[in-house]
Structure 1
Amino acid sequence: MSNKSIESLEYISDQLNRYLASIIFLFGITGNIMSCLVLSQRRLRSNPCALLFLISSFIGLISILVGLPTRILAGWHVDPTATINWICKTRAFIIFSTRTMSIWLITLATIDRWLISSIDIHRRQMSNLKNVKRAIFITVILSILSYIHMFPCYEANITNAPLKCYEYTVRCLLVTDLIYVIFSIMIPLILMIIFGLLTISYVHRTHTHVARASNALRIIDHNRHVNQNSKKTDHHLLRMLLLQIFSLIVLCIPQVIQKLYITFKPFDSGSKLEDAIKTFLYNIDILLAFMASAMPFYIYVLAGGSVIKKAFMDLIRLIQRKIAC
């Protein structure tokens, strides 16, 4: 009975890697390319928050292009990362570093929305392209440095692990998992929740204090004039951001729990069936994490209102004109 259960879990994992991973790959590539094209339009990329979304989508595209093809191949038992060291190390480094960059860029976007919604003029002045570009550069460098240790730590042909390409020492496993759980997931998500709630609080107070509404609106506008288009863009960007935060929490937390569980209760500490269940759940968590990288464009279309839809239609018209020429 135990052997049949193990075989069933392995079979389901293979099917998920073959077909669900392929679907995530197609939707993720399409969505992130569309996000990059839409958000790179001049009237959007001049907005600090939209610029962060743009860079996050580009990095998410890299993560999907590098990470998901090997998951698909794993469903057919021809995953090169399982047997070739340099591919194993490079893929692991790119996946972890790009995922960290992407989630921190969304965190920065949350902080930017908090700054721009503040009634404090000094905070609002901190929301500008110069500061955002500096923050992007620092985020990329720190993310790379955080996972540079994966080159000596990761090895192919590992047994007693959820994947054949995995850390080969307990010390490496502990370092990578703690960095990933704390630095790449928990701290950014906590900051997103805190600054997201603060932003909602600012917006709520702006709308409820009717007597001070005109003054608040005047302050929020950098030019001290009410700009309806800018306000609409900021409103839709906030909605996009909040929905993306929710999706990140739902899709990333399961992998955090699973990695911590494997770290403190490693393979061979229980029965073969328990190890098979760990591997099965780990594979599902990996696909959920890739789903988080694939969803942004569809979130933007769903929550972006007329701002994103208009930018998308402008892009379609531009492509049609170029084809006609």
Structure 2
Amino acid sequence: MPAKVVVIGSLNMDLVTRAPRLPRGGETLIGQSFSTVSGGKGANQAVAAARLGAEVSMVGCIGSDAYGQQLRNALLAEQIDCDAISIVDGASGVALIVVDDNSQNAIVIVAGANGALTPAVIDRFDSVLQAADVIICQLEVPDATVGHALKCGRELGKTVILNPAPASRPLPADWYAAIDYLIPNESEAAALSGLPVDSLETAETAATRLIGMGAGKVIITLGAQGSLFADGKGFQHFPAPQVHAVDTTAAGDTFVGGFAAALASGQSEAEAIRFGQVAAALSVTRAGAQPSIPTLSDVQAFKAP
């Protein structure tokens, strides 16, 4: 049987424009293109886990608008179980994304229906959580819901992953004990730890602090510099595969989904990290969020240059 991954989180319609560079405050730029693409960190991670070999269920909320139906259909097309996706009156979540010629992006999120994902909704789908091998959460839904989902995962004895994105402040102290794998990027690790993260050495210091706060294990993703794994006993640096980046949107989500799928299937932590890194590297060679996420066969066929 395939490994079972449950993703609790956001579904957003991404409104994506490309421009030569990111605009400065008060500035208007002429864009090069515009597209609407299914996204949201939760949905992206669900798609990644599904394409990379896991059986996936998504727990979230969409609006009663046209975007909501498109978001649900995009997951159904990936054979993702959508029975735990609730439809609420009003608008679905959206993300406004600008991508520059250096493949860097700036994103503004409007929660919309994602704000209706409450602890009570999580409780309604307790049977979905019970069937999971791995549970993944992020921070694009209400904090109370994230905290409740982490606690439920811990009580059920599941492997719990928190991708603290987007993060601009420390997490509630009582969350850490429920987290098996905390997976921030550099800026998120800095926000959570209160320490600068701008090198491998400073990442080690931040990871040590996060483990001291109670997280089981920490993986800090470092973009082109790879990732750092810390478990309280030591550190391991995993260099990133070298590729030509086109668009970094959803690279972090691809890593999280790939790591979860590999871990749930019985791969070791090191194997799962390398698997997630190859998947993320492939994703940045393609434009868009969910359209950029590779399949299991893509990852298996990848050969580093």
State the TM-score, normalized to the length of structure 2: 0.29
Max radius of gyration: which structure? 1
Looking at secondary structure, tell me which structure has more strand per residue. 2
State the TM-score, normalized to the length of structure 1: 0.27
Looking at secondary structure, tell me which structure has more helix per residue. 1
Higher relative contact order (CA 8 A, sep 6+): 1
